[in-house]
Chain A
Amino acid sequence: MSRFEFLNGNEALAWGVKLAKPGVIAAYPITPQTIAVEKIAEFVQDGLLDSIYLHVESEHSAMACSIGASATGVRTFTATSSQGLLYMAECLPYASGARLPIVMMNANRAMATPWNIYGDQMDVMYVLNSGWIQLFAENAQEALDMVIQSFKLAEDSEVMAPVMINLDGFVLTHTYEKVNIPEQELVDSFLPPMQLQSHMMNAQHPTSVCISAGNAHNMEFKLKQHLDLLNAIAVFSRISKEFGNFFGRYHGGAVEGYYYSDADVLLVTVGSIAGTVKEVVDAMRKEGHSVGLLKLRMVRPFPVKQLAEACKNAIAVGVLDKNISFGYEGTIYTNVNSALLQSGVFVKTQNFIGGLGGRDIPKKEIRSMFKVLLDNLEEKKVRFHNLRCT
């Protein structure tokens, strides 16, 4: 029988990893990811998870070890955050270019400097172009479920790409909630052991991995990688539904909507803040305002069609970014605008920046974002929220 436990986001994720049974885990601890890798280490230490746990000396080595392990056809997991993610960044395109289905948890945290360990989503935006699938979890239950879904997605023959699961630092990694832990037997039948693929190391069929390809071939390699990554949108949607049938929990596909189909104004966002937005939507709906939420569970590949379809009847679309691309705007906003434009959905948009360096985004700020969308779209497209001075 499945059972319930009171877990924080890190622990829930660790439980997801335990259930997915990776053969190798290589990780370096970093706040706010530490509890996750400690919990996994505990599982291995106690003999509850039969896995080789590599204590590496850096995040760069964590990813290098993960690449080596995954290249032998072993299910591999790692986790990092912020500065650690950027330290390992050089290795990320090696993993994706070599088409290795590694799954990594990234605890979203601010980038220095000024030094800050709290949660925002600046870190992951640096590596959107790394060829990794980018998923965002809203709550601890979704984090646990997303680990199991991610391995299935990464190892799918149509996709064959590494997956990064993003959890908001502290707000999600360190807050507790009631989490359902599914039965191991059920997870085993949903996620069978990983198969050795033809492009991986095999003593019977020696292979050169990570070959060089000059200007005569390189572009076609990249095109192939790009086309296969695009498959991940449909495959993730299928896997999410399949997961729902297996475990009775459906978190949505690449895009999850909340009161979106008839909404005049929509707020698009990613990660844990979606939970607060839902509460504001509930309250404002009761007051008669036509508001709704679109939560992007997947940011790479970008679900262009699904997003455009969900926005086509809206009068205004706001994007709440917990990052700023200095000198431009929030990165999700850039992506959303492009998706709408190329899909022929001509709707007014506005960018809201909040939560940098762990600044709280209270309900009243989300309410004021909806107010801007409903009443008075501003000339200034990028609007910072909850500032202490202006």
Chain B
Amino acid sequence: MKNFRMSPVPEFSKIEDIPLGASCKAFHITEKNASWRIKRPVINQDKCVDCYRCYLLCPDGAIHREAARNFLIDYDFCKGCGICAFECKARAISMVKETLV
């Protein structure tokens, strides 16, 4: 259950260093992509029941789990679609306007 965190973009000094076939080690994401988010999901850890629903349904895989009842959202990739908040049966996730955060 790895966090899809930003890894530093590697520097390639020679053309041979460029990965073959646009493939690279898994879990390496080279570019942030979340600039158009209007509302961000915020998890109330006290209400969370560890059901994994948000984790499984996030279309961008931007949610990961650090420990029991401790799901975290990677805001570098979360687009603010709100699916996690809509699907959370425990109502542990609320969508908060970006300007108010």
Contacts and interface: CB of A to CB of B under 8 A. Distances in A.
Contacts of A216: 9
A227 B15 CA distance: 10
B18 interface: yes
A199 B30 contact: no
Contacts of A214: 30-31
Interface string B1-39: 000000001001001001111111111101100000000
Contact of A100 (B9, B12, B21, B31): B21
Given A220-B12, A220-B15, A224-B15, A208 B28 contact: yes
Given A216-B9, A217-B12, A220-B15, A199 B21 contact: yes
A109 interface: no
Nearest to B17: A220
A223 interface: yes
Given A207-B25, A214-B31, A223 B20 contact: no
Interface residues of B, number: 16
Nearest to A228: B20
**Interface size band for A:** 20 to 34
A212 B32 CA distance: 11
A220 B28 CA distance: 18
A199 B19 contact: yes
Which of B19, B20, B21, B26 has the most C-beta atoms of chain A within 10 angstroms of its own C-beta?
Answer: B21
25 contacts: A97-B21, A99-B20, A160-B20, A160-B21, A197-B20, A198-B20, A198-B23, A199-B19, A205-B25, A206-B26, A206-B27, A207-B26, A208-B24, A208-B25, A208-B27, A208-B28, A209-B23, A210-B23, A211-B23, A212-B30, A214-B30, A217-B9, A217-B12, A220-B12, A221-B18
For the complex of A and B, 8 pairs with smallest distance between CB atoms: A99-B21, A206-B26, A199-B21, A199-B23, A199-B20, A224-B18, A209-B23, A98-B21
